[in-house]
Chains A and B, each alone.
Chain A
Amino acid sequence: MSRPAPVAVLAELIRKPWFWGLVAIAVLLALNMVKDPNYLAISVNPANGHLVGNLVDILRAAAPILMISIGMALVIATGGIDLSVGSLMAVSGAVAMEFLESAGDSSSLVVALGAIGLALLVSAVLGAVNGILVAYVGLQPFIATLVLMLAGRGLAKVITGGQNTAAASDPFKWVVNGFVVGLPVVFLFATLIVVIVALVVRRSALGLMIEAIGINPKASRMAGIRPPGLLLTVYILSGVLAGIAGIFAVGSVMTVDVSKTGYQLEMDAILAVVIGGTSLAGGKFSIGGAFVGGMLIATLDKTVLFLGVSSSATPAFKAIVIVVLCLLQSQRVRSWFSRRTAPPTRLATAVTDDARKEGALA
């Protein structure tokens, strides 16, 4: 290959799964620039030194989506899915708000930490319920988590007594609305957590083991991996991350809306993961991809709002995007574009499907 280096670098970049996500973000931002040339302008608020601008807003909105996206990326890598993240956000938010309200001390750091700790504990327990059902009972992941997706919202309502509980707590509010060196704290926290998760799974064998389960649970067991324990860990992690996302989501208004907090956000998480180039079939994940996917969704949400399209239309739009992405991932469509690979026969896919079903049973 005697290509000049820059071209090679570019070719390498294009092959990255998250490259097109970055392109999409750029396109969306450009679209906003067309409507308002000053869209990207960032100014410093002279009163408190905070950065102000649409980009900062996007970063803030991205935080909860990033949390559930990386959790979802790991779950999908094991060949599963976690449909309960949106409802877990509501539960976690409800727990935190109820705790803060009953404590009543709006300036105490201990109370705020207690609320966060309790909310995360509850999310971890619910994540563990998912994990046990999937790993030890052997339920299909979507059924196990579907129960919590639908019952979780009921749980949040029971916790708050059907109310949209509001509470005041300055330290809690700072986590979401505060600024450090001009940047929103919430985004810094989110990035920090993403980096920690990425380091833990990629600098150790954990990531490989997770992918091994997704490729073939039986083979991974024979290779000395214990799938149940790992699966449980992954679902607990997804639950905790959803809990953090819930805290981020309720913190900005300091109110939990039991029917709206985290509503339909499982779709955002799945979408972010798929945009990041992770196949829903499992066996692979890219934290960077999920990060880019999450940022894209936050940008998309803000763009839709900015362009004045009814925000109720976004789920429909996202659904179409995910359908298109699923189509692009399917063998049949891929074979349309490349002549080398023949489309798989119906029988071949049926055999793999059945094998997977057997795997789920084992």
Chain B
Amino acid sequence: MTAVTTEAPTGARRALAGARRILTTNPSVLPTTAAVAIFVGMVIYGEVAYGRIVQFSTLSNLLINNAHLIVLAVAMTFVILTGGIDLSVGSIIALSSVAGVMLANAGWHPLLVIVTMVLIGTVFGVISGILVHYFNVQPFIATLAMMFLGRGLASLLSTQPERLADDSAIRWLGTQMKIVDGPKVNDLVITPGVILAVLVVLVALFVLHRTRTGRTVYALGGSETSTLLMGLPAARTKILVYVISGTLSGVAAIIYTSRLGIAQNITGVGWELDAIAATVIGGTLLLGGAGYVLGSVVGALVLGLMIVLITRDGGIRPEMTTIITGGILLIFVLLQRVVTRKRE
């Protein structure tokens, strides 16, 4: 008994000391900590100002409505960690979901449709990766071209909203399942889409922090020259991050389409900004080399919560959201400049 009681406080103290050590020795944690603080601050502010934020229904809706954004933020984190960027994620979602819904309505097997939707993203990622790596095209140019290609192909398929049949099996991914049945509508609800997003985050965490590939991703962002001199598989990894980003965009398309049941060629306009903003708010340096997947998840939730607060407030016009997101992104990029400059 005595051993347990004495160990508990020392354990807590050790954890606290550990946290302090991480913060002081590893400044790259700082932005991520800031993101968590902002999220908590927004939750508290929302609860005080508007109420009904810290409750099952709001929080589960936050997750359900932003599951696709979380996946996109994870995808973007991989690319930005290497010092690159992927501007094509929004268009991939448009093409993938329009194609997916049309194929599903044409009578394809749902599983086949889902695989096709993911593969569309993968193909785009492969092309971007090859352009960036083998032909040394700047990442934003290569993915900008892919962005227009995706949007153009989606518009070619259809310019009308394509509706997924009500009895389509793909919709199952968007069905809401009650975990905790609270009073009235205050239930803890989850969708298979959210579970999928959580799985993506967990796999990404494992890959980035526990595998050689993950370390190479960070190394590429630090210095590509050093990565090559160290003999790390730079070529493979550089292409891989774009493939991951494209593939995850396909996954995000599935999550989004299954929830909404409608796909259109203008779906996902401006989501590049959201994904980049989520990643940057979460503490990933735009120059690459430092950042955390979990930070990006928090960043995505910050953006999602921002929308909730804007809707609750009612005084801010919806047109303002892109401006606010852009403004937040800008502030965080500027903060990064200050932090990195100090370190130099």
Contacts and interface: CB of A to CB of B under 8 A. Distances in A.
- Number of contact residues on A: which range applies? 35 or more
Given A330-B137, A346-B234, A347-B228, A319 B149 contact: yes
A188 interface: no
A331 B133 CA distance: 12
Contacts of B165: none
Contacts of B340: 361
22 contacts: A81-B140, A142-B140, A146-B272, A147-B326, A150-B272, A154-B322, A154-B323, A158-B317, A162-B317, A267-B145, A270-B141, A313-B152, A313-B155, A314-B152, A315-B151, A315-B155, A323-B131, A323-B137, A330-B135, A346-B228, A349-B136, A353-B224
B79 to A, nearest CB: 13
A312 B156 contact: yes
Interface in B261-309: 265, 270, 272-273, 276, 286-287
Given A316-B152, A317-B152, A150 B137 contact: no
Contacts of B42: none
Interface of B: 83, 85, 87, 131, 134-138, 140-142, 144-149, 151-153, 155-156, 159, 223-225, 227-229, 234-235, 265, 270, 272-273, 276, 286-287, 317, 319-323, 325-327, 329-330, 333-334, 337, 340, 344
B225 A350 contact: yes
A157 B319 contact: yes
B136 A330 contact: yes
Nearest to A322: B145
A328 to B, nearest CB: 10
A143 B136 contact: no
B140 A332 contact: no
Contacts of A162: 317, 319
A316 B330 contact: no
A326 B148 contact: no
A332 B83 CA distance: 22
Contacts of A361: 287, 340, 344
Contacts of B85: 142-143
Nearest to A321: B145
A319 B152 CA distance: 9
A153 B322 contact: yes
Contacts of B273: 146-147, 150-151
Interface of A: 81, 83, 133, 137-140, 142-143, 146-148, 150-151, 153-155, 157-158, 162, 264, 267, 270, 280, 310, 312-320, 322-323, 326-327, 330-333, 346-347, 349-351, 353-354, 357, 360-361
Looking at A157, A319, A330, the one whose CB has the most chain B CB atoms below 10 A away is A319
Nearest to B334: A137
Contacts of A351: 225
Contact of B148 (A264, A354, A357): A264
Nearest to A315: B152
B326 A326 contact: no
A83 B276 CA distance: 15
A269 B146 CA distance: 16
A143 to B, nearest CB: 6
